Amino acid sequence: MKIRIFNILLLLVVFLTFQLYAQEEDIGTQQVLIIKSYTPSLSNSFKINSSPQIPDSLKLKNKILEFKIIPVPALSTFVPNKATPLKLKKRSSETPFNTIFNGGFGTNGQAYLDISSVIELDRLQRFGIKIYRDGYRNDIVNTKLRSNQGFTKFGIHHNLRSSYYNVNTFTQFVSIKNNYFGLYKRDWDSFLLNNINPEINRNYFKIRTSLNWYDFFIRSIEFQANLTSDNFKTSEQQLSVNSNFEIDLGDGELIAKLGLKGINTSFEQSYFVDGVNDYTQGISSLNLYYTNTSNELKFKIGAGLAYVQGVNDFDKKLLYYPKIEISYQNSKNVMIPYFSSNGGVNFNSYQSLTIENPYLAPYTNLKPTFKKYNATLGVKSSLAAVLNFDFGFIYDQIKNFKLFERLPFDHKNNNIPYRLSNAFEGKYANVNLYGIRAALQIDLTKNNYVRFETFYNHYDSTDQQILWNIPSIKLNWEGQFQWKNNLTLTFQGTLIGERLVAFRPIFIGQEIEEAQYQQEKIPNFMTTTTHLTYKLSQQFDVFLKAKLNSSGIHGEWAYYNQPSLLMLAGITYKFDFQY
């Protein structure tokens, strides 16, 4: 019995000792989470919420809210202004006028007309129209044949736009009237000249449709058709389809351009032999390059290839050329070095040649021009956002470089106006081009600037062809000055340096196949146009135009002189046309 009591006391002492020791150790606070599986009762399934009750508005009456305004006395020191009220002024329209009319008359029988209008049909569509007429009715001084000129243009434009795409359709008709009046300075048979009508009438019709997408890898598709004709029964048809593809790749874009061009030209008669002369040619091209302009080093790197059909003087039908543009622009440097090389193949159509040289005979050779490199290495600079210049070296290898050679005199001309050794034909040469380009622009103040551009080119003909009518030096300039937003003066001009031309002496009984040429150097030719405008009101302007050409028997083309001075005065009227 005593042993049992002793054991119980011993256990009690041990337990108390352990309890005291455990209280000295800090074991922290702990939480115990007891998880019990959910065992719903069958009676819970009948606990469905009752449907909401909508009060009947016919039985309920609106509760009237009643409140009282407690008047608070206030002291006012406001004294009304006894000045006269301001008069309302009509605000000018923030949008420009949708129709502009320009008209005027000038020396040498000039008649000038220019009407353009863009009308918003709705929020998505716009319609535009253009009517242009220029030229002079009187002949140029010291010309033996009629030498008046006329230019007429009519065009319509439709634009459909949305947030996803943009569609532009453009149709244009152009008529150009000129004369083969550039005769040699010699004694001519008056009977022959009196029976010749030197007039040239050429008509150009163009229709173009382009579809552009904003967020689609096919960025644009363009279709264009050109029709050309003249009063010598020449006809030409051109078709082209171009498409652009663009895919975002890294920080830049991968761009592919596909092109298909075809041309068919028919001349009623050749110059040296009888018979119809036809040309049918085609070019398909692919340009693929990667471009990145997000960094200081901006570049476009790629290449292109073209497949030519209907041309026999190329070594091969598949041609390759680079598509490269590289420039480096640092925010701390004002000098921007750059390099570009954009080769390619272009048509020389009857349309493009007559626009460049309006005295081209209605017969010529047609060959495409292949620029293998078209490379420029240079540097650009911007000093204090006022003075900008661009200087670069040019190099290229050109296959079928185009030029214009004067045709010989045809004794059996049958009163055909372009057979008096007064017309040109297209010639082609293979050349290596070495050149220098320098451009300078001075930005004075807002909308006031002067810009000059100079080209010096050296042509090395690999087939010993003399490059007729090709100057080594060419200078362009343009500028604009404004005074108090009322008076504006703009000007632009070109200087063409000395150049060699083919002079064809005329001998009695000489056959055109046997006619030999002699070299003749013609002097510089300069032309500049100045336009002075004074704003009378928001809708009315008056203007004065002057065109100055260097005098002499030569103009840009040998023995085709231009009027020394043409003056024209007119008025501009702007208004909103409502349909």
Q: Residue 158 pLDDT > 90, yes or no? A: yes
- Is-above-0.85 flag for pTM? no
Angle at 395 between CA 392 and CA 401, to 5 degrees: 125
Lowest mean per-residue pLDDT among 332-336, 355-359, 362-366, 459-463:
332-336
User: Which pLDDT value is given to residue 92?
Assistant: 52
Distance, in Å, from the CA atom of 124 to the CA atom of 165, rounded to the nearest integer, reads 11
In this predicted model, what pLDDT tens digit does every residue of 534-562 receive, in sequence order? 999 999 999 999 999 997 899 999 999 99
Triad 572, 576, 579: Cα angle to 5°: 130
pLDDT at 482: 93
DSSP state of 363: -
CA angle 22, 24, 26 (to 5 degrees): 85
Tokens of 447: 């909308």
Residues 394/373, Cβ–Cβ less than 8 Å: no
Give, in order, the Cα–Cα distances in Å from 311 to each of 307, 315, 464: 10, 10, 21
Give the span between the Cα atoms of 159 and 210, in whole angstroms: 10
Is pLDDT at 409 greater than 90 in this prediction?
A: yes
- Dihedral of alpha carbons 343, 345, 348, 352, sign: negative
In the structure encoding, which two tokens stand for residue 446, read together?
Answer: 């807002």
Percent of the chain with pLDDT over 90: 68
Token pair in block for residue 473: 């030096």
Alpha carbon separation from 43 to 36, 38, 49, 190 (Å, rounded): 20, 14, 14, 127
pLDDT at 89: 54
| Widest CA span in the chain | 170
Residue type present at position 25: E
pLDDT given for residue 70 in this prediction: 55
Q: What is the mean pLDDT of residues 270-277?
A: 85
DSSP 8-state secondary structure symbol assigned to residue 271: S
Secondary structure of 461-527 in the HEC alphabet? ECCCCCCCCCCCEEEEEEEEEEECCCEEEEEEEEEECCEEEEECCCCCCCCHHHCCCEEEEECCEEE
Whether pLDDT at 256 is above 60: yes
Rounded-to-integer distance, Cα 243 and Cα 252, Å: 19
Burial label, 283 (beta-carbon count in 10 A; 0-12, 13-18, 19+):
buried
Three-state DSSP class for residue 280: strand
Average pLDDT of the chain, as a whole number: 86
List, for residues 24-49, the tens digit of each pLDDT value: 444 444 454 444 444 554 444 444 44
DSSP-derived 3-state class of residue 9: helix
pLDDT tens, residue by residue, 309-320: 998 888 899 999
Give me the mean pLDDT over the 108-117 stretch.
Answer: 96
What are the chain's domains? 133-575 (2.40.170.20)
Q: What are the structure tokens assigned to 40, written together? A: 């719903």
The two beta strands, 218-230 and 235-249, are: antiparallel
Segment 169-174 mean pLDDT: 97
What is the rounded CA–CA span in Å between residue 392 and residue 326? Answer: 14
State the pLDDT at residue 86: 54
For 206-243, what is each residue's pLDDT tens digit? 999 999 998 889 999 999 999 999 999 999 999 999 99
SS3 of residue 21 by DSSP: helix
**Mean pLDDT calculated for residue range 390-397:** 97
Among 93-107, 203-217, 563-577, which stretch is predicted with the lowest mean pLDDT? 93-107
In the numeric block, which tokens belong to residue 242? 């171009």
Q: How many H-runs (helices) and E-runs (strands) does the chain carry?
A: 3, 26
CB 338 within 8 A of CB 378: yes
